[in-house]
Amino acid sequence: RIANQLVLESAATFYFLKKNNCAVFHLTEKLLLTMLTSFTIAVIALGAVNAAPASNPDFLVSIDNGTYTRSVSYEGHSVLRCDVRNISQDVFESISATYDIMGSSSHASIDIHTTSDADVAAMHALIGAQHCVVHVADLESAVRAFETDLDHSRQRASSARNRRQVDDWFAAYHTYPEIIQWYTDIADDFPLITKLVPSIGRSTEGRDMPALHIVGTASGAKKRVYFQCQIHAREWISGATCMYVVNYLANNYGVSDEVTRLLNEVELIVVPFVNPDGYAYTWSGERLWRKSRNVNVGSSCMGTDLNRNYNEHWGEGGSSTNPCSDTYMGSKAESAVEVQVTTDYFKLNAPIYGGIDWHSYSQLILRPWGWTQTNAPDEALLKQVGDLMADSAERVHGFKYTSQKSISLYPTTGTANDWFYGEEASKENKGVRAYGFTIELRDTGRYGFELPANEIIPQGQEMIPAAIDFMQFTTANPLKFTPSA
């Protein structure tokens, strides 16, 4: 409490000097800002500010006969939306390494999860109160509204006549075991065009990580495209959208000329769960959990941000060395077993012509690079297919997706889409450099991670043409890889 108050008072003093245009502020702005940032981060590291919400034995939300439970409360938490165009790179790096940035926009605003008045005051001091608005005043209420919708939607889905029908299954979100069974059913229903690999490896907690291959029956070699889903635990729409795409392709092979031609030329590999442990935990403990669930030696904080753990400019910024951070990059590149499993499978199926890592939220189509402002060697083609996907998605329901380089948001290193396209993967991809993309799905922050279940189907519908465009374009316009000297 004392540390929280110190940060609150320090931030308030800093903001007062800045707001009132005091001469002493201008003389010492950089020093004051550096001190405040360092002090705030030091306190956070000690768990005094922005501490990760802890399970509370006296707090429990349970719905759907205990299928979903939550023991972590977000009481007193809020979300600020801040314009960060005018802050220094060092300050932004400090914020992103210590606070939970939930979403971003193409206009350089970010949604910051705050857990106390001290957090809010610190953001006002570091960014400027005039650049921040309260986007979600009561995060606990927002999560509870989502849980009410989850309960009702799952009741409707469970009473549906046929859980394999699109309108029934995609009327609700589903648990890890239910999704595993769904992929098993799809493989059983379409044995001529699908192959389910029940486990390409196991997660930290021993959960199977399956892969589904879907490809047409025409003879001849096929070019491969790779999708991976649910790398961040709380982004439930990611896994639901991957299922929707798989369902559409499987059901329309032999029916739609476009799908039939596509799958007769292209094999799609889908890894439904990069982070099965984290996903399971969002159903059993903490709805807004992001990371994996590995134990970090020397820390009481669990998990690694798997999308900062790839061996592509790992640890060069845009991530954190603090195990308590939501962007903790791990102890070394590919320290996370889940990253090892998925990169090994990617290499095993070389050559891969394109890869998409599915995320939410912000409605963005992101291409390399995340670690540098320098254009990727194939920027023109990367931009072309990114723009194509954004346009195709928008034409379905009018929802705008922005196509841009990853670093246009903020620096990130050790990410999956940079790895797909980058040096290490390409060296083992049989002369092909894979197009590497991140797709941030709906929405732009009205619901955020608590996207209602009635948006699963329209979200899937607008990603169908985008996914097809990606598969067609990347295999028709392959990228060559020449190793650097």
Active-site amino acid positions: 440
DSSP string, 39-97: HHHHHHHTTSSSPPP-B-TT--EEETTTTEEE-B--TT-EEEEEE-TTS-HHHHHHHHH
Residue 60 CB partners (closer than 8 Å, separation 6+): 69, 70, 71
Question: What are the two backbone dihedrals, phi and then psi, of residue 116, each rounded to the nearest 5 degrees?
Answer: -160, 170
CA distance 420 to 429: 10
Angle at 262 between CA 259 and CA 268, to 5 degrees: 100
Q: Which residues pair with 113 in a beta bridge?
A: 79, 100
Long-range contacts of 82-88 (CB under 8 A, 24+ apart): 82/109, 82/110, 82/112, 82/123, 82/127, 82/131, 82/132, 82/133, 83/107, 83/108, 83/109, 83/127, 83/131, 83/132, 84/108, 84/109, 84/110, 84/127, 84/131, 84/410, 86/128, 86/131, 87/126, 87/127
Q: How far is CA 322 from CA 59, 274, 293, 302, 303, in A?
A: 28, 22, 15, 11, 11
Task: Name the residue among 302, 290, 285 with its Cα closest to residue 56.
Answer: 285
**CA dist., res. 308 & res. 319, Å (int):** 6
Q: Determine what percent of the chain falls in helix, strand and coil, rounding each to the nearest 5.
A: 45, 15, 40
Dihedral pair phi/psi, residue 367, rounded to 5°:
-120, 165
Please state, in angstroms and rounded to a whole number, the distance separating the CA atoms of residues 405 and 408: 5
Q: Contact 305/413 with Cβ under 8 angstroms?
A: no
Nearest alpha-carbon partner for 103 in 455, 464, 472, 450: 450
For the range 179-184, what are the long-range contacts, defined as Cβ-Cβ under 8 Å and sequence gap of 24 or more? 179/239, 179/243, 179/272, 179/273, 180/208, 180/210, 180/272, 182/243, 183/210, 183/212, 183/243, 183/246, 183/272
| Kind of pairing between the strands at 109-114 and 78-83 | antiparallel
Task: Print burial letters for 105-124: b (CB count within 10 Å at least 16), e (below 16).
Answer: bbebbbbbbbbbbbbbbbbb
According to DSSP, the β-strands at 432-433 and 364-367 are unpaired
